[in-house]
Structure 1
Amino acid sequence: MTSSLPERAGRRCHGFLNPFHSAHYFSPDLGRELAAAGVADPQAAYFAVRAAAMGGVGAGVVTATFFNFRHGLVAEHVPAVWEAAAPPVVLAARERAVDATLRRLLGEELIASAEIAEAAELALRATEACARTARPLYAAHADLPVPERPHLALWHAATLLREHRGDGHLMVLLDAGLDPVEALASHTATGKGMSPKWAVGTRGWTQDEWDAATARLHGRGLLGTEGELTEAGVAFRRDVEDATDRLDLAPYEHLGAAGVQRLTELMTGLVTTMLSSGAFPAGMIGKR
């Protein structure tokens, strides 16, 4: 499918929608709300809030849809987490946490601004062209009601666009012959994702499993001896992202070039403010 948009315009826009969505995962507000709902463990809270839209699913469904978590780690918390807090309770707690997080990071003046309302309108318009087919996390979230307040409606739309791209990305990773650890290791080598320390620690893999994955990537000629991407590895990751762009083209084509540019401008300002307010932990992003 050819595009009328500037090259990688959708990816650039997503690059700001994604952190707008994901900041709440690192927020003390989420921990407080989930603990009050009966889920005190941070890992269990993450699995619960992201999976709750799918209902009280088991560990297999979470492992399949989240992709890069070790199944044993998932099974430690799912489905037991639903006994502590049913999915509707988790979803309500998540919305309260998102509300508190955005208010804290952006401030009340920006929350009430015309820019937030405009960004919400544009992002929701883009979601009109998203497809449920073969996209389970997107489809589950698409069945949830759109919040009335603009900052929460924007977060909801960012979530839909994030999960839509993410579901497509998993198809590309499988087609590229990457298992979950190899996908993480090759992505961290770009310097644009989580550091290896964060990836190993939060996804449940052992250092031996990580080292084995990097050795396999080295054997394919994708990683060098120091864990850096080779020339072939750079091209490989570029092809993965380009293929993901093609599967995620529809919402941004639907919004149009001018709409994508304006949404990117608005989200750039919002996310810049969030980052300056400490939205993410220090040391989370980077190669080492």
Structure 2
Amino acid sequence: MTASLPERAGRRCHDVLNPLHSSLYFSPDLRRELSEVGVEDPKGAYFAARAAVLGAVGPGTVTATFSNFRYELVARHVPEVWRKASPETVLAARTRAADATLRRLLGEEAVASEAVAEAAELALRATEACSRTARPLYAGNADLPVPAEPHLALWHAATLLREHRGDGHLAALLEAELDPLEALVSHTATGKGMTPKWALDARGWTREHWDAAAARLRDRGLLDAEGELTETGVALRRDLEARTDRLDRAPYEHLGAAGVQRLTELAYGLLTTAVGAGAFPADLIGKA
């Protein structure tokens, strides 16, 4: 980060904004809305909701842009989802689901509050400095209109910032020479990623795949025999996040230190409310 912005300020802001976006993927409202347009499988709903901005793409494109999903899992749902509902239909259902999810998690009073409107304004200002170059998921979402309602504008901005950082993170993973499952295993080893139970089920890998990736990380000296990160592994994950920070610095530098701090405060308050309302499964994050 630059001297004008505290170290990791952008990452901290992202870390409280991103869950406001990703809560949608754990929401019964998304499953309901997509079931009503023909996409009934929960995994198919996830692929459809996130990939619809790319158009009716095939499993190769989804696997490439989502990165850590097993191709065979993606191919069971894509392009079949587009035969059930067009990308335009899915995007309309996604917006309805985001609306219902935020109203349910935050409450009507918060949705209509000045805090949400201010957070939306700040987050949208940050997105003005995002770049489409080599960022397909960000670029697809950036082509969508900004919703008029402040809570949906906030969700839209959080989505843009999440995918902007995520697209850049994939470049950092390539440079670190971590394949998709090695990235998952090493992230879980930090205690900040999804548990193996959730990662295996959601991403389509088997325990044998997971163990083989762990063995490759041990061979590189990144994991020890107990599955903990070695000093080298800790350094790699630290450098990986720092590299991602550099690739994602523009929106937060554009917003400025005071704006980033204020957006972080507002998003943290909203996230605390959402988590308290059950936005995420209790066993989602951790090593076990």
Given the two structures, how large is their TM-score scaled by the length of structure 2? 0.99
Q: Which moved more, 1:147-156 or 1:227-236?
A: 227-236
User: 2:218 aligns to what?
Assistant: 218
User: 2:233 aligns to what?
Assistant: 233
User: 2:243 aligns to what?
Assistant: 243
Please give the per-residue CA displacement for 1:165-214, whole angstroms capped at 9, x wherever unaligned. 00000000011000000000000000001001111111011111110000
Separation of aligned partners in 2, 1:233 and 1:259: 34
User: 2:196 aligns to what?
Assistant: 196
Separation of aligned partners in 2, 1:3 and 1:86: 46
User: 1:207 aligns to what?
Assistant: 207
Aligned-partner residue type, residue 147 of structure 1: P
Equivalence map 1:1-288=2 (5 Å): 2-288=2-288
Aligned-partner residue type, residue 99 of structure 1: D
Partners of 1:73 and 1:204 within 8 A in 2: yes
Please give the per-residue CA displacement for 1:69-97, whole angstroms capped at 9, x wherever unaligned. 00011000101100000001000000001
Ranges of 4+ aligned residues in structure 1 off by more than 4 Å: none
Partners of 1:39 and 1:84 within 8 A in 2: yes
Separation of aligned partners in 2, 1:254 and 1:99: 28
What's the CA shift for 1:2? 3.6
Aligned-partner residue type, residue 156 of structure 2: H
What's the CA shift for 1:278? 0.3
Secondary structure of 1:187's counterpart equals: helix
Separation of aligned partners in 1, 2:67 and 2:89: 25
Separation of aligned partners in 2, 1:165 and 1:254: 15
Percent identity (aligned): 74
Aligned-partner residue type, residue 127 of structure 1: T
Partners of 1:24 and 1:101 within 8 A in 2: yes
Partners of 1:3 and 1:253 within 8 A in 2: no
Secondary structure of 1:202's counterpart equals: helix
Aligned-partner residue type, residue 52 of structure 2: A
- The answer for unaligned runs of 5 or more in structure 2 is none
Q: Which moved more, 1:161-170 or 1:215-224?
A: 215-224
Aligned-partner residue type, residue 160 of structure 1: L
Separation of aligned partners in 2, 1:106 and 1:160: 21
What's the CA shift for 1:282? 1.8
Separation of aligned partners in 2, 1:155 and 1:211: 36
Separation of aligned partners in 1, 2:131 and 2:284: 32
Partners of 1:187 and 1:193 within 8 A in 2: yes
Separation of aligned partners in 1, 2:2 and 2:285: 33
Secondary structure of 2:160's counterpart equals: helix
Separation of aligned partners in 2, 1:240 and 1:39: 36
- The answer for unaligned runs of 5 or more in structure 1 is none
What's the CA shift for 1:53? 0.6
Separation of aligned partners in 1, 2:228 and 2:257: 35
What's the CA shift for 1:3? 4.4
Aligned-partner residue type, residue 77 of structure 1: H
Partners of 1:146 and 1:156 within 8 A in 2: yes
Please give the per-residue CA displacement for 1:103-124, whole angstroms capped at 9, x wherever unaligned. 0000000000000000000000
Given the two structures, how large is their TM-score scaled by the length of structure 1? 0.99
Separation of aligned partners in 1, 2:191 and 2:19: 16
Separation of aligned partners in 1, 2:71 and 2:217: 22
Secondary structure of 2:69's counterpart equals: coil
Separation of aligned partners in 1, 2:156 and 2:199: 26
Secondary structure of 2:79's counterpart equals: coil
